[in-house]
Amino acid sequence: MNIVVVGGGSSGWMTASWLNKFVPNSKITLVESPAVPRIGVGESVTVHLTEFIRVLGIDEHHFMFHTGSVYKYGNNFINWLEGKGENELFTFAFNKNKSHLYSSPYKGVSWEDHRDVRVEETRLTDYWLELFKQGKTDRNFSKNFTSWTSFTEDLKAPFVDGISYLPKNDLAWAYHINTERFADYLKEFVASPGGVEHKIAHIKQVVKSGQTIEKILFDDNTEITADLYVDCSGFHRVLIKEFDNVQWKWYENNVADSAYVCQLDYIDPEKEMVNYTKSIAMNKGWVFDISLFHRRGTGYIFSNDFISDDEVLAEYRSKILTKPKFEPRKIKWDKKRMLNPGFGNVCAIGMTIGFVEPMEANMLGVISNSAWELTHVLEDHNFDTRNIDWSRYNTKIGHTFDDVADFILVHYTLSPRTDNEYWEEMRSIGRRLKHEELLLDKYNDYKNTIDGASQSLCFFPDYMWIELAATWNIDLSKWPSKKISDDELRIAELHFDYLRNHLNLASKKFPQYYHYLKDNIFKGMNPQEWMDAVKI
């Protein structure tokens, strides 16, 4: 099978690396235009990328060193309740079934444990909910459910001499990565050594017939033919834009469609380099603040329907931009996704399909999901691209994007902030769309289990929906309870108490986060020394 991947950013190299591993007897060619710059947006990722790296067999420390990447243990939401500096950290805390109450809290977790969680049975989150209703725990979900907050509050790394003290397969961390360096890393260390060919040329013409591509012509007077063409060119949509059969779904209720982004140099990396993403609610939007080893990446997300560029920049400069590397630049996007990202012998992946907004670090996870589902489609057709039925791919990717759009939107519409007309308007959207009911529906939907997520039926699993409900002060007394005996509930209380108390004490013994990274991953170099070594 000959496969052409168009686009040389993280989406293109992730897809080429994945297909090269999982499509047997294939020849993969990645086409990158010297005239089209990479978008390079997004530096915080979800555990989808953790699994992507593991499955490809990439050495984690090697990848982190070469890309300036660091560990991420959660997302810290600041100013979302009252706008007065309050915060709630969302750590990675995947649900488990009741059997985990009767075994060691640090028992290794298998993939079957994750996938064996059923909404009709009693989940660990159901026990937490009942404890909350009875006043035996509070709304600080991460602290009382997983207790990994101690590692973020004290800026600790849960490793000693490179050995992890986190439960096996618990997907407890993701990364902050430099997306452009990640693309180059995959090219140099994964795709090219695996046989992926790299063609640098600008596409002059796409020769097509109906819904299929026959060949691509380049400005260097060469051409290429393939059995499958994959568009990873992001908003440029180099292949997709050639077809008039493409249909779109618009996310009209999602408000943000613009961002000003800017990188910052560290003043004091030991204090500023944190092991979580900061998502900071602003006057009429929000800011992401992401630590890499050598700098911070920030962006103010907003809509001009509610705030002007001048107002954004004034607030951005006064509250966030401590030591900017350059002037903020503006990015704008359409809030939409393709309804048919696969057709004929053409398939779209990543931002080519669409984009909602950067909240919850979704895009690289969407890319990995898309590449995964594409391989399933090819397997279903015995790797024969003639007359592919794309309905499975289109449906699954649709579920993924729609779940992302729903989860992002409820952050705005269920926020209890009422300090200006913007947040009042967000709350009115939530009332109109009955978003409190949506949280409960998602929490009890099979699609939003880990098993559902593994089938690309959702992007955000059940625990995240109940955590948002708890954190955003939703009335959980209205949520139905499972039938739980007093003895079981007492065991659950002891289970959560043990985790919290044990980890609060144990975290004090672990190394400081920045110093662990410096000594164990970045070969004893500080950020400036590392930048000099890798020639940034």
Instruction: Give Dmax (Cα) for the chain.
Output: 76
Q: Residue 462 is which amino acid?
A: D
Token pair 């009955």: residue = 434
Per-chain mean pLDDT for the chain = 93
Q: Is 141 helix (H, G, I), strand (E, B) or coil?
A: helix
What pairs with residue 423 in β-bridges? Answer: none
State the Rg of the chain over Cα.
23
Q: What is the pLDDT of residues 144-190, one digit of tens each?
A: 887 788 889 899 998 887 777 766 666 789 999 998 899 999 999 99
Q: Torsion angle, CA of 163/166/170/173, rounded to 10 degrees?
A: -80
CA separation for the pair 123, 100 (Å, rounded): 9
Count CB-CB contacts under 10 A for residue 420: 12
Q: Is 244 helix (H, G, I), strand (E, B) or coil?
A: coil
Residue 390, pLDDT above cutoff 80: yes
Average pLDDT for 74-94: 92
What pLDDT band is residue 370 in, cutting at 50, 70 and 90?
very high
Q: Which two structure tokens, joined as six digits, stand for 228? A: 């499958």
What pLDDT band is residue 100 in, cutting at 50, 70 and 90?
confident
- Asked if residues 38 and 172 have their Cβ atoms less than 8 Å apart, the reply is no
Q: What is the pTM of this model?
A: 0.96
Residue 38, pLDDT above cutoff 80: no
Q: What is the pLDDT of residues 239-283, one digit of tens each?
A: 999 999 999 999 999 999 999 999 999 999 999 999 999 999 999
How wide is the angle at C-alpha 82 spanned by C-alphas 81 and 85, nearest 5°? 95
Q: What is the pLDDT of residues 449-476, one digit of tens each?
A: 989 998 999 999 999 999 999 999 999 9
Q: Is 238 helix (H, G, I), strand (E, B) or coil?
A: coil
